[in-house]
Structure 1
Amino acid sequence: MLLDNYINFSSTDFKGELAALGAAFLWAVSTVVYGHLGRSYAPIILNLMKGVIAIALLLLTIFLNGTQLPLLNIKALGLLLLSGIIGIALGDTAYFETINCLGVRRALLMETLAPPLVAILALLFLQESLSIGAWCGILLTILGVAWVITERVPGRIASPLNLHKGIGFGLLAAFAQAGGAVLSRAALANTNISPLWAALLRLSAGVLVLLPLTGLLRQKMSRLAKDLPSWQAWQAIIFAAFVGTYLAIWLQQTALKFTAAGIAQTILTTSPLFVLPIVAILGETVSKRAVLGVLVAISGIALLVGLK
């Protein structure tokens, strides 16, 4: 049974918060894969490939589910399309470039800027005011995530050029994803469009913008993966697109539809915490500091949910 059919809880059952946690976990899994793929594919090419795969999966799901697109006014449709252009075409491309320049942990650190930006933008443009306790929950969550991903770990050290470039792209990604989330929330909160259709519209807008831009990097599209055989590389791309774009964006839109934008984006930013058990399984040591950061972030999420 598909997601829209079996998530039928009332608003007090925290549908939005649970969807955000699910998306955060799936993004953690896909980030590990994208970090590896980024060595072989330009960010725009990688963003385009995962977008096209996810669109095909969403269209198949809509066909099987029989979900029809409701009538939307021009404003709501425009907000969703603009959200995809800003949040997916611009934000995801900048995020992949940040990973290439800074590595996964530092790139995820830059992403912790998104929740307060979302909360501020939602306050200014959507009049979604949060209580002092909710702001404390946001701050506590961000501190917990930052505490985890700023820990010094073995790995490459970014050159000064890559460091400055990565910080610039990281800031761009955070602003773009925050703007995309608020635009999407504005469209979803006051319409009956399903998160499934919202995800498809956003992805389609992003891919349509990326298509002409990839012509500038056409020569890079023929590059073979350096570390993976071609078929294995495509398997990795399809897997990352399935969990990190198709499923995760569907859950993200569910979160933005059923809870405040600031709360949703804060929980979505906890994906670094889910990376810890993944890297532990892969053989990396997880320190006490990392565990403490997880506990702090979980406390922030508990405060956010408890004050809803």
Structure 2
Amino acid sequence: MYLAEILSIGAALCIATSGMFAGELIGRVDALTLTRWQTFAVTLATALGATAFGGWAGLLPWQVAYLAASGVFGIFIASTAYISSIFTLGPRLALLVFSLTSPFALVMGYVFLGETIGSTKLAGVALVIGGIVLAILFGRPAKAQPEGIFPTPPIEKAVLPVKQMTMPVGLGFGLIAALGQAAGALVARPVMASGVNPFAAMAIRTGVSTVLFLLLVFVPLPGNGKRPKPSARTLTIGISGALIGTGMGMSLLMAALASGQVGIVSTLSSLSPVLVLPMVWLRTGYKPSAPAWAGALLAFAGTSLIAIG
């Protein structure tokens, strides 16, 4: 009876868990490399899923082009910025800032698609922004430290210097991630409405991003120098986070949309900033402050109003 609701909450839990996985790798791998691993893993998994379920049949050139553009915005740009935000702010604040995806998508839909914005949705935008501001100004300051789900044994020491980037830098990464995700969803919307297989759609989006990441290796960027070889543990955590967050999380979301109302599914799947708080508590031993809980709940309430308004 409540299958769609359970699947939606499961998707939110997967996304929150994926953020914790990424938080575990601070100092062990750089954001660009981690995103490259995750994108390749998800491309392989979704391509196999599309092949198994006949998802490649009937794809039209315009659909492939739109999905490719969506991948550039929503994966290549947004995922890299999102991981960078986690490495700077920690999973708690990074997920909270990422909840700006809903307001950004709302504004883009208004500007580019002529969608209407009612008073309920505007109130939702205000709540999301208010929740983020509350958590940033009065919550415990974010630190560049592991906030993952694994214990911190001295089995594997950090192999990269942990750069203490400032709060504004982390917020900038979070804003870029939310903007990229919203733009990617906006571009992919007409394609998904035409009935394209979700596995095939995701494989195209991540596949294009994988190619761009591979080409980026040949660009003389400061971070493209020789990196320490990652351990099997680091590689496993990084890829597992992608398969749980993007692979399993998005699959649960698609399954929820098949039987549930869009507004309810969108609302419940946005619980990630709330669900990550007890995870951080269990991981670090530090109870999130009251403003942190209040900010996450306000952001969730705002996203709910946007979804159902």
What is the CA-CA distance between 1:61 and the residue it aligns to?
Answer: 2.7
Give the alignment's Cα RMSD to 1 decimal: 3.5
Which letter does structure 1 place at the counterpart of 2:50?
I
What is the CA-CA distance between 1:205 and the residue it aligns to?
Answer: 1.3
Distance 1:254 1:103, change over 3 A: same
Structure 2 runs not aligned, ≥5 long: 145-161
Residue in 2 that maps onto 1:4: none
Residue in 2 that maps onto 1:180: 184
Aligned with 2:44 (options 48, 53, 56): 56
Structure 1 runs not aligned, ≥5 long: 1-8
Residue in 1 that maps onto 2:23: 35
Conserved in 1, the CA contact under 8 Å of 2:96 and 2:132? Answer: yes
Residue in 1 that maps onto 2:287: 285
Conserved in 2, the CA contact under 8 Å of 1:35 and 1:104? Answer: yes
Question: Aligned to 2:110, what secondary structure does the other structure show?
Answer: helix
What is the CA-CA distance between 1:182 and the residue it aligns to?
Answer: 0.8
Conserved in 1, the CA contact under 8 Å of 2:140 and 2:289? Answer: no
Residue in 2 that maps onto 1:3: none
Q: How many angstroms apart in 2 are the aligned matches of 1:80 and 1:58? A: 14
Aligned with 2:34 (options 29, 46, 54): 46
User: How do residues 61-140 of structure 1 correspond to structure 2 at under 5 angstroms?
Assistant: 61-64=49-52, 66-140=53-127
Residue in 2 that maps onto 1:6: none
Residue in 1 that maps onto 2:207: 204
Question: Percent identical across equivalent pairs?
Answer: 28
Instruction: Answer yes or no: is 1:24 the counterpart of 2:26.
Output: no
* Count, aligned residues: 286
Distance 1:135 1:22, change over 3 A: farther
Question: Aligned to 1:115, what secondary structure does the other structure show?
Answer: helix
Which letter does structure 2 place at the counterpart of 1:32?
M
Residue in 2 that maps onto 1:240: 241
String of CA shifts for 1:8-34, please: whole Å, max 9, x gaps.
x9xxx995x876654332221111111
Q: How many angstroms apart in 2 are the aligned matches of 1:26 and 1:169? A: 22
> Under a length normalisation based on structure 1, what TM-score does the superposition of the two structures give?
0.76
More helix by share: 1
What is the CA-CA distance between 1:149 and the residue it aligns to?
Answer: 5.7
Which letter does structure 2 place at the counterpart of 1:45?
T
Conserved in 2, the CA contact under 8 Å of 1:19 and 1:255? Answer: yes
Distance 1:126 1:21, change over 3 A: farther
Which letter does structure 1 place at the counterpart of 2:74?
G
Question: Aligned to 2:217, what secondary structure does the other structure show?
Answer: helix
